Amino acid sequence: MHHQNPVFIPGPTNIPDVLRRAVDYPSIDHRSADFVDMFLPVLDGVKRVLKTSTGEALIFPATGTGAWEAAITNTLSPGDRVLAARHGMFSHRWIDLCQRHGLDVQAVEGRWGAGAPVEDFMRILSEDAGQAIKAVLVTHNETATGVRSDVAAMRRALDACGHPALLMVDGVSSIASMDFRMEDWGVDLAITGSQKGFMLPAGLAIVGISQKALAAMEDARCPRGFFDFRDMLAANRTGGFPYTPPVGLIRGLHRSITLLEAEGLEAVFARHFRIAEGVRRAVAAWGLQTCAETPEIASDTVTAIRMPEGVDANRIVALAAEKYATAFGTGLGQVAGKVFRIGHLGLMTDVMALAGIATAEMVMADLGLAVTPGSGTAAAQGYYRATARSAEAPGPGRQAA
């Protein structure tokens, strides 16, 4: 049976119809002027979304994982030390990728439910008198735990120590959904993909690169081929690609940026906060806890919900899929079986979120949990009713074609 229920996973996200149509495009000659006309405005649009005016934006046919690899291999050399925190599955995977490339990772073991520990980083950086650390890695939004880290505070820590390390930020599940400021925060490499905040199918790795990172690129000795920034930059200069570009996705990205800017980036962030806050109120009404240890670090794109002792969170995800054809996210790594996740980013409205909350309640009641069906829905409804914006404002619930 084919279902059209929205997905409540933190990527890939639901795809607006206008974007599904935009990516459906016949083959064109990618060496033609038509491609150049389509492509160059996309690079400018990505820079606006990342909020950089002095950096470069590059797009590779890959996913967020490819963007991680592109960032480190283009700016670092084997044996270089990088500082990172492991506090969820995505920060863990980035560390693993660095190690596979022969980098010397100084990994701070963090709590799964806390943000990247600024104080620990500050201490380590201030003790690094020889400036052996070449890069600091931050996962802005830990999608596994639903926790936001403070990138601006990491910048301040680096500056306070006068430390020249590059600041690399994984913004895969935050960029285009949560406040992100590449230039203000002094981010040297900003990383994302097409299938989260940009609401497209997977297939594009998107990287923002500061001038400082471009300078580091000249001395970097990690082997790189497909992801070599230099080839991409050279080809992009004339609006071209060093190999066959994924034309449909690039066209989709153009349309996606148009949608985001029509709504307004700040309004997009406010919408994500509001939807997330409704979900958090539902969780509280259920008598459950978020994986995020404190409200101020709670993610606005995904909520990880801790199950009571003895309840296997995977059963919630499995039953939701089987019985109600609805996808929630499972727990990953250290929190596997302990949390389930409600993804609420990209094409998401309060009305859609209510469906997810109500479905989660049905499943938890089916499994005999002490959760009253309707309790979370009512809490979210109350919040959404009190905070609904007045009509007319554009948003994904009322989109122009």
Ligand X SMILES: *Cc1c(COP(=O)(O)O)cnc(C)c1O
Site residues (vs ligand X, CB under 6 A)? 11, 63-65, 90, 139, 141, 143, 170, 172-173, 193, 202
Using left for φ > 0, alpha for ψ between -120 and 50, and beta otherwise, residue 156 falls in alpha
CB-count burial class (<10 Å; 0-12, 13-18, 19+) for 241: buried
Residue indicated by tokens 């992009």 = 236
Of 30 and 87, which has the nearer Cβ to ligand X? Answer: 87
Of 200 and 217, which has the nearer Cβ to ligand X? Answer: 200
- Cα separation, 154 vs 93, whole angstroms: 20
Q: Which residue is nearest to ligand X (CB)?
A: 64
Whether the Cβ atoms of residue 8 and residue 326 lie closer than 8 Å to each other: yes
Of 30 and 344, which has the nearer Cβ to ligand X? Answer: 344
Exposure b/e, 189-203, CB count within 10 A at least 16 = b: bbbbbbbbbbbbbeb
Alpha carbon 37 to chain centroid distance?
A: 28
CB 385, min distance to ligand X, A? 31
CB 14, min distance to ligand X, A? 15
CB 175, min distance to ligand X, A? 10
SS3 276: helix
Of 52 and 143, which has the nearer Cβ to ligand X? Answer: 143
Torsion, Cα 325 328 330 332, to 10 degrees, reads 140
CB 190, min distance to ligand X, A? 12
Of 65 and 106, which has the nearer Cβ to ligand X? Answer: 65
Of 170 and 188, which has the nearer Cβ to ligand X? Answer: 170
CB 143, min distance to ligand X, A? 3
Alpha carbon 77 to chain centroid distance?
A: 26
Of 208 and 376, which has the nearer Cβ to ligand X? Answer: 208
CB 8, min distance to ligand X, A? 15
Whether the Cβ atoms of residue 47 and residue 72 lie closer than 8 Å to each other: no
CB 227, min distance to ligand X, A? 13
- CA-based R_g, the chain, Å: 21
- Cα separation, 297 vs 299, whole angstroms: 6
Those residues with Cβ within 8 angstroms of residue 119's Cβ, 6 or more apart along the chain or in another chain: none
CB 20, min distance to ligand X, A? 19
CB 141, min distance to ligand X, A? 6
Of 173 and 377, which has the nearer Cβ to ligand X? Answer: 173
Of 348 and 379, which has the nearer Cβ to ligand X? Answer: 348
Those residues with Cβ within 8 angstroms of residue 77's Cβ, 6 or more apart along the chain or in another chain: 219, 220, 221, 222
Q: In residues, how long is the chain?
A: 401
